[in-house]
Chain A
Amino acid sequence: MTSENHNSVQIGDVLPELRLPPVDRTMLALFAGASGDHVPLHIDQDFARKAGMPDVFAHGMLGMAWVGRLITNWAPQRALRSFNVRFMAITHLGNAPVLSGKVVDLIDRDGERCAKLEVQMANQYGQIKILGEAIVALA
């Protein structure tokens, strides 16, 4: 979407899908450092096993950051008014994220014309990991 054609946004429009490489330990180590989320469940296999998990797993906020890329690939970030997600399932090592979204409504919000998006992250097997909603201003 660009400022020239935002008037043409319609319910049902699909955001360009984003497919990412499988989650590996390096990604989790980098995200722990960059985000400041040092919870050992995501970076220390020994700790994860003691906590009853088979292995380390992805930070929820890493997935949300990827969903954020999906949205700001479609609309400029300055147009983003809200972004809310629910973490539905754990994203495991080897899961390859598939980010997708669509326009589900056109609304007025505080006098602004906005698109309401449903967004999600699944893995390569179609299992839903994150479900979310974003409001993007069109004017």
Chain B
Amino acid sequence: MIDTKWIGHRFAPMRWEVEKGRLRFFAKATGETRAEYIDEDAARAAGHPSLLAPPTILFSGPLDHDDVPKLLQLLGISMNNILHGEQGFTYHAPIHAGDVLDFEGEITDITSKKGGALELVTREIRVTNQRGELVATVRNVIAVVNR
């Protein structure tokens, strides 16, 4: 059983720069071919300061800081036993290449289901940009399958 004392645990802030090459690679890997995601001139012509960051790439900022292995280590969970349960994003302002984002995460819930066979760990992450604006909040639920 995961100790519920970790509810409220805050992680060290993670800084992540939104890079053009990364956005193009992400577009290629997800089959995205629209110009505003891969062609900076087209993005500018469409009124964006640079390439548009797609809706789900915010997941990658914390990943680049190994947030999942760190979470598992903190809670004593094996990588073999986890599944991605839920994922959510609430958007407050646009995000583009060149933005420098800070991710501040917290464990907001730990619950047990099916008599402890399944445990759900919820994190919420606030994302702010280089101007201090809240650009998004990210919600992530990892399911731990105890076998």
9-residue interface stretch from B1-9, B21-29, B108-116, B125-133: B21-29
* Contact between A60 and B28, CB atoms less than 8 A apart: no
B41 within 8 A of A: no
User: Given B57, B79, B86, B89, which contacts A87 in the complex, CB threshold below 8 Å?
Assistant: B86
A 55-81 contacts with B by CB, 8 A: 59-62, 64-66, 68-69, 71-72, 77-78, 80-81
Proximity string of chain B (60-71) to chain A, C-beta cutoff 8 Å, 1 when within and 0 when not: 100110001000
9-residue interface stretch from A8-16, A26-34, A120-128: A26-34
Known: A35-B59, A85-B87. 4 other contacts (CB 8 A): A33-B29, A39-B68, A62-B30, A86-B85
Given A51-B80, A60-B84, residue A36 in contact with residue B64 (CB < 8 A): yes
* Contact between B28 and A64, CB atoms less than 8 A apart: no
A82 within 8 A of B: yes
* Contact between A61 and B86, CB atoms less than 8 A apart: no
B83 within 8 A of A: yes
Interface size class of B (residues with CB under 8 A): 20 to 34
* Contact between A77 and B31, CB atoms less than 8 A apart: no
* Contact between B84 and A71, CB atoms less than 8 A apart: no
Number of A-B contacts (CB under 8 A): 98
Nearest CB in chain B: distance from A130 CB, A: 9
* Contact between B84 and A83, CB atoms less than 8 A apart: no
Q: In this complex, which of A35, A68, A72 has the most chain B Cβ atoms within 10 angstroms of its Cβ?
A: A35
* Contact between B29 and A61, CB atoms less than 8 A apart: no
Proximity string of chain A (71-104) to chain B, C-beta cutoff 8 Å, 1 when within and 0 when not: 1100001101111111100000000000000000
11 residue pairs from A and B, CB less than 8 Å apart: A20-B31, A34-B26, A35-B26, A35-B60, A41-B80, A60-B83, A61-B59, A61-B84, A65-B54, A65-B56, A85-B88
* Contact between A61 and B56, CB atoms less than 8 A apart: yes
User: Given B64, B87, B89, which contacts A60 in the complex, CB threshold below 8 Å?
Assistant: B87
* Contact between A72 and B55, CB atoms less than 8 A apart: yes
Nearest CB in chain A: distance from B18 CB, A: 13
Q: In this complex, which of A27, A39, A60, A77 has the most chain B Cβ atoms within 10 angstroms of its Cβ?
A: A77
